[in-house]
Structure 1
Amino acid sequence: MRRTRGGVVDVDSLDDFDRRLAYGLHSLSGWRLRDIDLTARRKALRSVDVAGALFLGCDLLLEDEESIRARGAVVFPSVPDAPIDAYRTTLYTPHELFASDGYLRSPDARIYGWSQRDSTRDAMLAQSLHDHSIGIALETWVRGRTLVGVMGGHSAARGERTYTDGAMLGRMLSQTHAVATGGGPGAMEAVNLGGYLATYGDDAVDEAVHMLAAVPSFAPSVGAWADAAFAVRDRFPQGADSLGIPTWHYGHEPPNPFASAIAKYFHNAQREAILLEVCQGGIIFLPGAGGTVQEIFQDACENYYADESSIAPMVLVGRDYWTQQLPAWPLLQALAKGRPMEQHVHLVDTVQEAAALVSKP
């Protein structure tokens, strides 16, 4: 039975519902019940005060739904014709999103297609409820873990030096922390791959990258790209946990299959804010373009206004890249000067240096 803080009680299964009522409770005020079949619990529902309870996507007999609404509960029914569970209680897995005999028929591709076609009020409601539910599931997954984030571009091809460096970085970080990325291809996939291989030796990274290099990009075939990744997972079946936080806003970029837990959102602004928020162990920024630069200064803004006890390290990797090609470092350095964050921003040349700065447990 999952304990919750304060006056909110999350109930995600019929067993949990039954166990809690067995304590002799008389009120469900503050309860959030999600995706539970309550059609056989008429007597229980009639025996308690439901004012202040929230029923999300639960199966209810019509008479019971009318009764609990009349007695002060709020009921959100399932959203019709939506290919998502708006009230899901767990994060996605790679096998769940890619499940099919071809990517175009996979849940991930079908959900993206639906999100582009259907702009009705019901569809928008379903997306918002889904993202809220993913946020709650992410809170559960993060609990007890300290996450280090790695941000970087989606264009790094499998087999390139930047990709191999990202994989080694993910493996190093995962010895002491859980790793979180934006969950997409390129540098993000590389870091999740390294996190997945954290329990294997360095040779495993080299072998895995060699296997993946046969399909260097998700273009032109996402299916072939994903198949290569799942072949690596089959070769190394005892992968460690890591987190990916992608978005269907960039639905043309598939989620990478190496994150064990995938918090996929529809709304990119919400996803970006949450990605930075959960990385309390610090964030490493590999070379990237517009999206990575945006993330640098979103994170810098959080640190700029934070007290020193709340500041998370920021590490930019690639001295030439961040001072000459995309000179974000001089601006970041100027912004930090004289602030508590100044000693927590770093510019390094190698992923080994970056890992050393944030890998203290």
Structure 2
Amino acid sequence: MSDVRPEPLEDDVPIEGTQVRYAGAAKVRVDEDSEYVTSDENLLEWVDPRDSTKILERTVRDSWRVLRIQSEFVAGFDALENVSEAVTVFGSARSVPGSAEYEMGVEVGRRLVEAGYAVITGGGPGAMEATNKGAFLAGGESIGLNIELPFEQHLNPYLTLGMHFRYFFVRKTMFVKYAQAFVCLPGGVGTLDELFEALTLVQTGKVKRFPIVLVGRAFWGPLLDWMRQVLLADAKISPQDLDLITVVDTPEEAVDVVIASGVR
């Protein structure tokens, strides 16, 4: 028997030509050049209905996949069942540590904890890490809900609870189910997706009305202007829809909005 042991699955122990990825909760090592297909991509892949062989195979695979989805919901519900009062914070994974944007996230996390809230983020780098850092250093609950991506997104080190999800829709359910408010820091496509999903759920009454706070008028102002000048002007939304969003400039103002709403 060989005495040579395999390298551990740690990101700081590289093996040339490989990288470490997450497949749900599992950590695996794969070839650097291999094509990486996420669980969401597999689930949403189109299969030609005229190809009877593939349709049968897909039907069987999807039937089993339902059990995996169910187990992911159960794991999330079990892990978060004791979260009583929390605020979900969205923001860019590309915010650079030390930047004004990053420090804004740290301050949001700290102030939310001091106000008695747990903090939930996507668990990755950038604004997510910043917010978790502020919450963690303030001694509060700092929760990160990560997602399987083609490009690896690791859990940041400032978490009291971290989870990996295969499916975006399961993860998004956890963001909403356990939050009393949403705070959005400057971000990109993912942040916009999460913002408008939250806005749609509140607008359609799928969840109770609760605060949706955007931090940074210079960043978010043009978006709100477009919504007024295009969507509202063309009667695509109602005037009260815009009242569902509050735009502020500072972390202090953002947390004051959450507190003033009385959501607990």
**Same fold judged by TM-score > 0.5?**
yes
Q: What is the aligned counterpart of 1:174 among 100, 109, 113?
A: 113
- Post-superposition shift, 1:190? 0.5
Residue 304, structure 1, aligned to residue 203, structure 2: yes
Asked if the contact 1:242/1:259 (under 8 Å) is kept, the reply is yes
Are the counterparts in 1 of residues 21 and 30 from structure 2 also a CA contact under 8 Å?
Answer: no
Q: Where does 1:25-64 land on structure 2 (aligned, <5 Å)?
A: none
CA distance in 2, matches of 1:329, 1:127: 43
CA contact 1:127–1:266 (8 Å) conserved in 2: no
Shift of 1:253: 2.2
The number of equivalent residue pairs is 218
Residue 184 of structure 1 and its aligned partner are, at CA, apart by: 1.2
Residue correspondence of structure 1 range 65-214 to structure 2 within 5 A: 102=13, 108=22, 110-111=27-28, 113=30, 116=36, 129-144=67-82, 145-175=84-114, 176-199=116-139
Identify, as 1 or 2, the structure richer in strand.
Answer: 2
For residues 253 and 239 of structure 2, the distance between their equivalents in structure 1, rounded to whole angstroms, comes to 22
Alignment of 1:224-239 (within 5 A): none
Describe the SS at the equivalent of 2:214: strand
Partner of 1:30: none
- Of structures 1 and 2, the larger Rg is shown by 1
The separation in 1 between residues aligned to 2:195 and 2:145, in whole angstroms, is 17
Counterpart residue number, 2:50: none
Inter-CA distance 301–132: structure 2 relative to 1 (3 Å threshold)? same
Q: Secondary structure at the match of 2:120?
A: strand
C-alpha distance in 2, partners of 1:289/1:107? 23
Other-structure match for 2:227: 331
> In the alignment, which residue of structure 2 is the partner of 1:357?
257
Letter of the 2:87 partner, please give it. V
Q: CA offsets, 1:274-296, max 9 Å, x none?
A: 323332x1101111111111111
Q: TM-score, normalised by structure 2?
A: 0.69
Matches of 2:149 and 2:91, distance apart in 1: 17
Asked if structure 1 preserves the Cα contact closer than 8 Å seen for 2:88 and 2:181, the reply is yes
Q: Which runs of 5+ in 2 are unaligned?
A: 1-8, 43-56
**Whole-angstrom distance in 1 between the partners of 2:124 and 2:29:** 14
Instruction: Kindly provide the amino acid, as one letter, of the partner of residue 122 in structure 2.
Output: G
Describe the SS at the equivalent of 2:89. strand
TM-score, normalised relative to structure 1 = 0.52
Match among 205, 211, 217 for residue 313 of structure 1: 211
* Distance of 1:184 and 1:306 partners within structure 2: 30
Q: Which residue of 2 aligns with 1:249?
A: 149
Which residue number in structure 2 is paired with residue 294 of structure 1? Answer: 193
Residue deviations 1:186-215, cap 9 Å, x none? Answer: 00111111111113xxxxxxxxxxxxxxxx
Task: Calculate the aligned-residue CA RMSD, in Å.
Answer: 3.4
- Name which structure has the greater RCO, CA cutoff 8 Å, separation 6+: 2
CA distance in 1 between partners of 2:69 and 2:61 (Å): 12
What is the alpha-carbon distance in structure 2 between the residues aligned to residue 355 and residue 349 of structure 1? 11
Distance 2:120 2:249 in 1: 21
Structure 1 segment 4-23 matched on structure 2, within 5 A: none
Return the alpha-carbon distance in structure 2 between the equivalents of residues 352 and 285 of structure 1: 14
Q: Name whichever of 245-254 and 170-179 sits farther off.
A: 245-254
In 1, are the aligned partners of 2:37 and 2:150 still within 8 Å (CA)?
A: no
Instruction: Provide the C-alpha distance between the structure 1 equivalents of 2:64 and 2:21, rounded to a whole number of angstroms.
Output: 16
3-state SS in 2 of match to 1:116 = coil
Measure how far apart 1:113 and its partner are. Answer: 4.3
2:196 matches 1:277: no
Q: What amino acid is the match of 2:188?
A: A
Counterpart amino acid of 2:105?
G
CA positional deviation for 1:141: 3.2
Residues 106 and 133 in structure 2, CA contact (< 8 A), matched pair in contact too: yes
Mapped to 1, the partners of 2:155 and 2:225 lie a distance apart of 29
Correspondence for 2:3: none
